[in-house]
Structure 1
Amino acid sequence: MSSQTTAPSPESPVLRAAARAREAAAALAPLPRADKDAALLAIADALDARTEEIVAANAEDVAKAREAGTAEGIVDRLTLTPERVRAIAADVRNVAGLPDPVGEVVRGGTLPNGIDLRQVRVPLGVVGIVYEARPNVTVDAAALCLKSGNAVLLRGSSSAYASNTALVGVVRDAVAGAGLPADAVQLVPGESRESVRELMRARGLVDVLIPRGGASLIRTVVEESTVPVIETGTGNCHVYVDAAADLDTAVRILVNSKAQRPSVCNAAETLLVHRDVADRFLPLALEALAEAGVTVHGDERVLAAAAGTKAAVVPATEEDWETEYLSYDIAAAVVDSLDEAVRHIRRWSSGHTEAIVTGSQQAARRFTQLVDSTTVAVNASTRFTDGSQFGFGAEIGISTQKLHARGPMGLPELTSTKYVVTGDGHVRG
C-alpha cells in the first residue's frame, strides 16, 4: 500500500457500513448477557445447519488459491472442512458459556468523602478486524465482539471472499433471528485495498482496529491508520532444549510445536539446543522431525549431528533466524548456555511464544524471567498459546505489543472501562 492516504468520502460504502455499525454498537452495549448468549447459540446452530453451504463457498476460494500457486501452508489456513466448521461452532458455544465482561467492577469503593466510586468494564464500541486467509477468524471475531457488546467490521483478504461472505451471511441471519441488530456484524464492502484504507481512516466511527496476518499487513495498518490499533504480531517462536531436559519429552514437545499444525503463528520456527545434550538429543530430534516431514535449517553443529541420519538438513543463513516459515521448516542451532539461548531469542524473536524444556527449576525460573515474550512455556508445546486453549473460548488475535492487551486476546481485552461516581448531593470544595 502507498503511505499516502486521503480521507474517504462521506458517501463511501465503507463509512456507511461503519455508521451502521456504530448504531448497532449503541444497541448492543446495554444488552443483558442472556440476549447476547442466545444470539451466539443461534450462530453456532446455524453454522452446523449450513455447513454444506459454507464448505462449498470455501471450496471456491481454495481452488482459486491453488490455481494461483499459493503455498500449501497458506492454503491450509484458508481451508474449511466440515470438521473445522464444527470446531468453529463449538468455539462459539464456548464463548456463550463464558462470563460477560461488561459491567464487571475492576476496582472501586467508598471514598473518604462518602462518594461511591466504581471502575467498570464497557464495550470498546466498533471494532475493525483486518486479516488474511483465515476464515475461522470471521466467526471468532464476531462471537467475541458480540459477547463483549461490540459491533464488528470484518475485512478479510480477497482470497477468502467467498468463504467470508457465506460465513457472515450465516452469522447475520442468526443474529437478526435472535432479535439483535444484524449490522452488529458486517463485511467491509469492497475487495480493493482502497476499502482497507478507508477503514483505517474511519476515525470517529471505528474505535479500534486489530490487524491479523503477515508482517507487511500489520506494519501497514500500524503505520497508516488514524484509528487506534492493537498490534498483533508474527510468530517466530522458539523451543530451547536445556542441559537438564528429559530428551524424550523434548522430542515430543519439539515435534508437536513444529509439526502439529505448522501454518499457524504459535508453531515453533527455531530450535535451540544446549551443547551439553546436543550430541545425544540432535540425532533423536532430527530423525523425529524427518519422520514428520520437516526440513531443518541448521548451523554447523546441527549439520554435523545430521551425518548418518535420514534427516533433511540444509545450511542455515542469517535470514533463517528471523523467518516465520509457516511450513514444514525449522531453523536449528546449538548454544553454549541458557543465557546464549536467551540472547538469541531476544535478538530474533517476534515476541510471541518461547518454550524451555528442562528438569531444572532454576533454569526454568531464569528463562521465564529473562525472556520478554507474550508467553513463556515451561515443558509444554508452543501450540498452547491460543485463546481457546487458554480457556478464553476463542481469541480476537495475539497481541505482541505491551499496551492495553498482550498475548491471546479474549473478552476482557475487548473492553475499556469507565468510572461511575455516585454521590448524595456532593460538591467539591
Structure 2
Amino acid sequence: MDAVTHGTLDHLTAGTLVPFGGDRYAVVDEALAAAFAPGDALHVDPGTGALLHVPAAVRRVVAEQINAAVAAFGVVRAAPRATIEAFFTAFADRLADDAVWAGIRAANAADVERARSAGRTTTRLTVSDRMRADMVDGLREWAGILLSRGSSVSADERVRHADWEVELQAAPLGVVAFVFEGRPNVFADAAGVLATGNTAVLRIGGDALGTAEAIRDGALRPALAAAGLPQGAVSLLPVRDRSAGWALFSDSRLALAVARGSGPAVAQLSGVARSAGVPVSAHGTGGAWLVADSAADVDRFAGAVRHSLDRKVCNTLNVAVLVADRAQELVPVLLAAADEAAATRSGTARVHVVEGSEGALPDGELTRQIPVHRADGVHTEPRASLLPVERLGQEWEWEDTPELTLVVVPDLAAAADLFNRWSPRFVASLISEDAAAHAWFRDAVDAPFVGDGFTRWVDGQYALAQPELGLSNWEHGRLLARAGILTGADLTTRRVFAHHDSAQQHR
C-alpha cells in the first residue's frame, strides 16, 4: 500500500512539531491540541512561529463573505460608470443624514465605552464631526473623479507598428480583502475599491465592530441597494475573533490583501497571506521624523512640531532630530511647541532623549514628573527619560499626552544616516532655509514621503484628494510601480489588446 503523504487535518496532538521557514519548527501545546476540532484550520506566523488557530465556525463565516464578493465581482466589473457614481453619492448622502449619523454615533459611544473599560486605546476609535465630514467628502470625490474603466489608461499607452498595434487598458483586480485597526473612517475609504471595478471584504478591529456595523446598516447597504449593486460588493465580517483575519487572508481567491494596523499585527497578517500565495499591501509601523538643520527657521520649526502632534496617527511626529550647533536654541522651542500641542489634550508632552543628547535639555527635565494620560488611566512619569539609540525606531502610541523622541546629531548627514538605519523609512521632513540642503536631503533619505514642514500632510485624501486605503513605508523594501499612498485608483491590473491590420501578419 502506498504511504499517505497528504490529507485533511482534523486533530492535533500535543508535542507535534510544525515545520516553517525551511529550517524552524513550532510545537503544538496542550491547549491548542484540546481546542482543535475537525473543520478548523491551522496557520503558522512565518516571522515568529506562532501557531494560529481558526475555528470552523469562523472559517464558514469568512467563506460566505468571500463567496458573495466573488459573485458580486462579475456585476461590479461590468457596471456602468453612472451606477458606481450613484453608489458613492448615495453612501455620502446617507452619512450626511443626521438621523443616520445619530445611530452611528450611538454605536460608537458604546464601542468607546467598552474599549475604555477594558483599558484599550480609544484615540483612533472615537468618531467626530471632522471624521464624518472627511468620509462624506471622500465619497463625493470618488463620485466626481471616478476613473473611466474600459478606456485606455492613457493616450501614450498605445504602440503602433507598421501593420498592427497594441493597446494597454486598466482592468480590475478582483476581490480585495482589508483588515484594519479600529478607525471607523477606513470603512468608507475602503469602498473606493468599487471605483476601479473591484469588490471588497472588510474586517475591522473588534473594538470598532459596532460602529462599523452601524455604518454598514445605516449607509453602506442602503447605498448599494439604491445603486442596484449586490450586497457582496462591499461587506463586513461580523466577527470579533482575531482569527477571522487569518481566515480571510489565507483564501487564495483574493486578488489582494491590504493590512493596516500595528507593526506586529500587520507583519503577522502579511505572513499568513504570503504563505497562501496572496499578494499583500502592508501598512504597519509609522511615525514621522522631523529634522532641523543649521539653517532652520525657528517659527517654521515650532509650527511644524505643534501641528505634527495634534493627534496620534501614523504620520504624527515621532522623532525630532536637531543639529548640534542649533540644539541649545531649538530644544526649548521643541519642548514649548510640543507642550502647546499637549495643552489642547492633557497638558504636557512626554519626551524620550537618546543617550548622549541629554546635555541639550533644560535643567531638571530628567527629574521632573508629569501626568501622562494613557489608555488605562493617568500615570505619573518623568517629563524626559533616556533612550538607547537602538530604540530610535520605536513608534510611540499615545492617547492624550503627545510623546516623541529627541536626538542631537553633528550635522545633516548624520541625521539622514540615523533615519535610514533606525526609522521605518516612512515620513521625513526637513526644516531649513537652505535650498541646497533640501535637494541633498531628498536624495539622501530612503523614504516615500519627504516634506519641508509639518508631517501630517501625508494622507491620501488631504494630499491627493483621493481617500486612501493605506500608507506604506519602505521598511521592508520599496514598492513596485506605485507611490506609498494606496487608493482605489491603484487597484488595477493591465490588459493588452492587439489589432492586426493584415490577416497575413506573422513573426
Query: Same-fold call, TM > 0.5?
Result: yes
Amino acid at match of 1:219: A
| Correspondent of 1:68 among 106, 115, 118 | 118
| Correspondent of 2:438 among 353, 357, 364 | 364
Does the CA contact (< 8 Å) of 1:135 and 1:164 recur in 2?
yes
Q: Deviations over 1:210-260 (max 9, x none)?
A: 000001111112211122111223113200001111111111112212x12
Partner of 2:297: 246
Distance 1:247 1:388 in 2: 29
Amino acid at match of 2:255: D
Does the CA contact (< 8 Å) of 2:324 and 2:408 recur in 1?
yes
What is the CA-CA distance between 1:43 and the residue it aligns to?
Answer: 0.2
What is the CA-CA distance between 1:287 and the residue it aligns to?
Answer: 2.0
Partner of 1:422: 499
What is the CA-CA distance between 1:399 and the residue it aligns to?
Answer: 2.1
Q: 1:282 to 1:151 in 2, by over 3 A?
A: same
Q: 1:8 to 1:201 in 2, by over 3 A?
A: farther
SS at match of 1:354: strand
Q: 1:231 to 1:426 in 2, by over 3 A?
A: farther
| Larger fraction in helix | 1
Instruction: Report whether the alignment pairs 1:175 with 2:248.
Output: no
Partner of 1:385: 458
Q: 1:382 to 1:428 in 2, by over 3 A?
A: same
Instruction: Report whether the alignment pairs 1:187 with 2:258.
Output: no
Distance 2:52 2:126 in 1: 33
Partner of 1:304: 359
Partner of 2:449: 375
Distance 1:56 1:238 in 2: 37
Q: 1:43 to 1:250 in 2, by over 3 A?
A: same
Does the CA contact (< 8 Å) of 1:221 and 1:229 recur in 2?
no
SS at match of 1:118: strand
SS at match of 1:105: coil
After TM superposition, the structure 1 = structure 2 runs for residues 7-406 of structure 1, keeping only pairs within 5 Å, are 12-49=60-97, 50-71=100-121, 75-100=122-147, 102=149, 103-106=151-154, 107-142=156-191, 144-169=192-217, 170-204=219-253, 206-225=254-273, 226=276, 227-257=278-308, 259-261=309-311, 263-293=312-342, 294-299=349-354, 302-308=357-363, 312-318=383-389, 320-327=391-398, 328-377=402-451, 379-400=452-473, 401-406=478-483
What is the CA-CA distance between 1:411 and the residue it aligns to?
Answer: 3.2
Distance 1:368 1:110 in 2: 35
Distance 2:419 2:176 in 1: 33
Does the CA contact (< 8 Å) of 1:55 and 1:82 recur in 2?
no
Which shifted more, 351-360 or 107-116? 107-116
Distance 1:307 1:108 in 2: 60
Pair member with larger Rg: 2
Q: Deviations over 1:121-155 (max 9, x none)?
A: 1111111001111111111111x112121111001
Amino acid at match of 2:214: A
Does the CA contact (< 8 Å) of 2:267 and 2:284 recur in 1?
no
Amino acid at match of 1:306: L
Moved beyond 4 Å, runs of 4+: 4-11, 308-311
Distance 2:129 2:411 in 1: 47
Amino acid at match of 1:321: L
Does the CA contact (< 8 Å) of 2:158 and 2:166 recur in 1?
yes
Distance 2:145 2:172 in 1: 16
Amino acid at match of 2:315: N
Distance 1:6 1:426 in 2: 59
Amino acid at match of 2:469: I
| More RCO (CA 8 Å, sep 6+) | 1
Q: 1:315 to 1:428 in 2, by over 3 A?
A: same
Which shifted more, 151-160 or 15-24? 15-24
Distance 2:481 2:178 in 1: 17
Structure 2 length-normalised TM: 0.78
What is the CA-CA distance between 1:194 and the residue it aligns to?
Answer: 2.8
Q: Deviations over 1:360-392 (max 9, x none)?
A: 111101110011111111x22110010011123
Distance 1:363 1:110 in 2: 41
What is the CA-CA distance between 1:278 and the residue it aligns to?
Answer: 1.1
Distance 1:308 1:130 in 2: 46
Distance 1:178 1:316 in 2: 55
Identical pairs, percent = 28
Amino acid at match of 2:294: A
Which shifted more, 107-116 or 192-201? 107-116
Structure 2: gaps of 5 or more residues: 1-42, 46-50, 343-348, 369-382
Which shifted more, 241-250 or 97-106? 97-106
Q: 1:194 to 1:344 in 2, by over 3 A?
A: same
Computed over aligned residues only, the root mean square deviation of the Cα atoms, in angstroms, reads 2.2
Distance 2:113 2:289 in 1: 33
Q: 1:7 to 1:296 in 2, by over 3 A?
A: closer
Does the CA contact (< 8 Å) of 2:355 and 2:388 recur in 1?
no
Amino acid at match of 1:200: F
Q: 1:213 to 1:187 in 2, by over 3 A?
A: same
Does the CA contact (< 8 Å) of 1:101 and 1:412 recur in 2?
no
Structure 1: gaps of 5 or more residues: none
Which shifted more, 125-134 or 100-109? 100-109
SS at match of 2:320: strand
Q: 1:132 to 1:239 in 2, by over 3 A?
A: same
Count of residue pairs brought into register by the alignment = 421
Amino acid at match of 1:96: A
SS at match of 1:298: strand
What is the CA-CA distance between 1:406 and the residue it aligns to?
Answer: 3.2
Q: 1:256 to 1:209 in 2, by over 3 A?
A: same
SS at match of 1:211: strand
Distance 2:143 2:484 in 1: 21
Which shifted more, 391-400 or 100-109? 100-109
Distance 2:297 2:492 in 1: 42
